[in-house]
């Protein structure tokens, strides 16, 4: 921050691009200097069709985006149909085995650590911004995937939540706490409350922030995305006395992010009810009742809190799911009411396109 951190830039390319082999060599340590650009970072935006061709050991056609327009602007079945149409018309610059491209990708990763691999069709299918158009790239660190075009520069408003603060430890005889007490538990209610505060604060950031270019302001004000991350997950496990690679740690990890997601949705729904939904809400998956886990094929009953609430009703398995969290809270008593928040969103909208 404050101009002290050097700028960095990531370039994303799809593997059908005719320059794919040259781009894969740009970060390598050997070769002609005039053919290298090592200060840049590289990512591949991979369509499922390419991976199917790799799996089948099929032929892959390399194309010029000027001669084969529109491939970057579509995904899924629409991309497959357009790509195969161009193939049948012979509009490719050359054809190679798909595994030759795949091998070059792996060689580059072994030598340089790049390119990043992100999967275009999955990224678009599972995004609440899919109604805006085809998402064509991620960012430098690949933690956000947002829509951009000629008029909009994607912006994400980020915050990090410190998880150890929500581990409640039993107090000792002199008021001290044992950071790894077997009686310690994770306070989902407190995390839920804190997440709602963070969501509202980030909403204010969008309104009061200054923007270096008009496209960034337009994007941020129209779609109002936020990203909520965490720090100290391993520290929280230590305080709870939970091994990092245990089943319990995996379940708690899922439960923590379910709590964060529900709280962010609830706060966003409240913001929409008081200030109106974000401008491009209509047509989004959320506007049709599809929450993020639904886009992954998960039903409400399969969420951690609902599964845990079901187990709590059976005394024989009361400790089977999340034993260190068995205490009176919304999370343990009944699970989160996903259909309730869904109906609320469909009726009143959301204040944020991404949460």
Residues with catalytic function = 139, 141, 143
CA distance 128 to 131: 7
Q: Cα angle at 270 between 268 and 276, to 5 degrees?
A: 85
DSSP, collapsed to helix, strand or coil, labels residue 13 as: strand
Helix 76-88, helix 48-56: angle, nearest 10: 60
* Angle at CA of residue 226, ends 221 and 229, nearest 5°: 165
Query: Read out DSSP for 221-238?
Result: HHH--EEEEEE-HHHHHH
At 185, is the secondary structure helix, strand, or coil? strand
Burial of residue 144 (number of CB atoms within 10 Å: 0-12, 13-18, 19+): middle
Gap between the Cα atoms of 256 and 254, Å rounded: 6
Cβ-contact 286, 294 below 8 angstroms: no
Provide the Cα torsion 238, 241, 247, 248; round to 10°: -100
Per-residue b/e over 198-217, b at no fewer than 16 CB within 10 Å? Answer: bbeebbeebeeeeeeeebbb
Q: Specify the 3-state DSSP secondary structure of 291.
A: coil
How far does the chain reach from its first CA to its final CA, in angstroms?
A: 24
Q: Answer positive or negative: Cα dihedral of 222, 204, 125, 71.
A: positive
Q: Rounded CA gap, 289 and 299, in Å?
A: 12
In 281-337, alpha helices (H): 292-295, 304-312, 330-333
- The answer to whether 230 and 254 are in contact (CB under 8 A) is no
């Amino acid at each position: 921050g404050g101009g002290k951190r050097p700028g960095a830039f990531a370039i994303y390319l799809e593997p059908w691009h005719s320059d794919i082999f040259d781009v894969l060599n740009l970060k390598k340590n050997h070769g002609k200097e005039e053919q290298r650009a090592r200060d840049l970072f590289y990512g591949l935006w991979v369509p499922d069709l390419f991976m199917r061709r790799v799996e089948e050991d099929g032929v892959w056609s390399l194309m010029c985006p000027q001669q084969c327009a529109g491939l970057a602007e579509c995904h899924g079945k629409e991309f497959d149909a357009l790509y195969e149409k161009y193939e049948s018309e012979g509009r490719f610059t050359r054809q190679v085995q798909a595994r030759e491209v795949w091998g070059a990708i792996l060689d580059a990763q072994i030598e340089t650590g790049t390119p990043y691999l992100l999967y275009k069709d999955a990224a678009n299918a599972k995004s609440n911004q899919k109604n805006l158009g085809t998402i064509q790239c991620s960012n430098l660190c690949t933690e956000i995937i947002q829509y951009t075009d000629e008029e909009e520069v994607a912006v994400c408003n980020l915050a990090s939540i410190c998880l150890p603060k929500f581990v409640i430890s039993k107090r000792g005889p002199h008021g001290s706490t044992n950071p790894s007490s077997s009686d310690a538990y994770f306070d989902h209610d407190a995390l839920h409350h804190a997440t709602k505060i963070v969501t509202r604060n980030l909403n204010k950031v969008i309104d009061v922030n200054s923007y270096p270019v008009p496209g960034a302001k337009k994007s941020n004000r129209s779609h109002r995305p936020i990203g909520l991350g965490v720090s100290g997950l391993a520290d929280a496990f230590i305080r709870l006395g939970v091994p990092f690679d245990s089943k319990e740690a995996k379940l708690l990890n899922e439960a923590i992010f379910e709590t964060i997601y529900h709280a962010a949705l609830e706060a966003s729904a409240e913001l929409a009810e008081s200030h109106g939904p974000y401008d491009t809400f209509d047509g989004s998956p959320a506007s049709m009742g599809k929450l993020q886990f639904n886009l992954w094929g998960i039903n409400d009953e399969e969420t951690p809190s609902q599964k845990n609430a079901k187990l709590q009703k059976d005394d024989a398995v009361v400790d089977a799911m999340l034993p260190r969290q068995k205490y009176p809270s919304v999370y343990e008593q009944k699970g989160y009411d996903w259909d309730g928040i869904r109906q609320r969103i469909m009726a009143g909208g959301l204040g944020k396109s991404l949460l």
